[in-house]
Structure 1
Amino acid sequence: MDLFFHDTIDIKNPAFVFSDEESRHLSKVLRKQPGDLVAVTDGKGLEVHIQIQNISSRKTNGHLVETIVHPAPKHQTHIAIAPTKNIVRLEWFLEKATEIGIHRITPLLCQHSERKVIKSDRLTKILQAALKQSQQFHLPQLDDLISFETFVAQQKKGYIAHCNTGEKFDLADLAPTEQSNCILIGPEGDFSIDEITFAEKNNFQTISLGSQRLRTETAALVACHTLSLIHRNI
């Protein structure tokens, strides 16, 4: 069933009106007809099934026929990542991480960051599109850009991945079972020594994501996928 996104859904009101953009998509692309069912989610775990009553490229409305509540995942992945200089790479990560399953993304401003501004509205639309495509019902939380030190100081503990030498533990071997796991991923120039030291002093454990040297967005996706596999088996 095709899935649409609305950030607010009033389950007490059975009448449902689609936006102009969705109406065009329903009528011109999907070629839906009166009587067809489509699913809508608010990204907070709610799924409703809407039976189309009237449809046109300008206005489409329907009637709510079923409500389903999806519980939040037991284990949640939180990736704090320095936005890449080429924003397309960050957008790629957001899309793929949403498909895999991620709870929260925090953009970090680091000492070696080459990108210091992001357009949250565009990134949110990418998350919403990936949510619909992957048929999921919990939209990842996208935080505002925050400085590395401020963010780390707010956390109780977590993990940090970097390219410097020293003792590291393989994330796959750690098998973290906490309800929420936060992993720090640095910019193209990696975290500075001062940032690594600061994180370790604030209960962030240094981890390895493998022997290869990974791009920022690749490292973030590897971390996300590794945690997804670990949590699937718990």
Structure 2
Amino acid sequence: MTTSTYDLPAAVANVPLAQERFAATLATLTDAEIREPSVLPGWTRGHVVAHVARGGEAMVRLIDGVLTQRPVAAYPGGPTVREAEIELGAQSSANDLADEVYSANIQVVHAFARMTAPTWGRQVQFPTGAYPASRCAWSRWREVEIHHIDLGMDVYTIESWPEEFVACHLPHELAKLPGRLPSNAAVQVGPSRFGTGDVVATLDGPDAAILAWLVGRVGLAAPALTISGDLPELPPWS
């Protein structure tokens, strides 16, 4: 089991690489393929791509707020407006969606390049709460890599995730696992036990598959996992 910890330079360096891989996959999609179901229930691939584009724009807004030292919402108008924008974007053509992602990707890279050690430490307001601005880099890296597999394309699967991505993010997701388990449950993941319950299930397999399970991509993870006992269903991941 890898135990590498998250670090900001790794995230900043890997965001453009992840974005480039995602954009390369989008360049192969036709209008018919963009309308096909994604891994996410109720969402087409177009929804996933629109979400990634809007997510990039949100990160740029937060960084701009940090640099101008003014409060900024990641998604002005709140969840309702955010969902409406994704729904609208999902109806766009494959080429238009690819262009939106390409534009957002460039803006993200330029925004991150303007940051310094002190500004990365300033607080920003995510929909889930206040965090250091460094979360923008970690979040963008995570979002692009995870939503890339959500497209459900053979060209990019959990096995395609870079080792550095898995090594950086797996420890953080494992640390959150006890709080997501039912009170009577515990899960043995490799050599480590999580949770204090008496009902123990064991889970083993490649780190990428374990990470996929932790972030709610159970169907993508299952073929590579060895499971013993009744593995508890985790609440929705965020």
Name the one with the larger helix percent.
2
Larger Rg: 1
- TM class by smaller structure: under 0.3
TM-score (norm 1): 0.27
Bigger strand fraction: 1
User: Given the two structures, how large is their TM-score scaled by the length of structure 2?
Assistant: 0.26
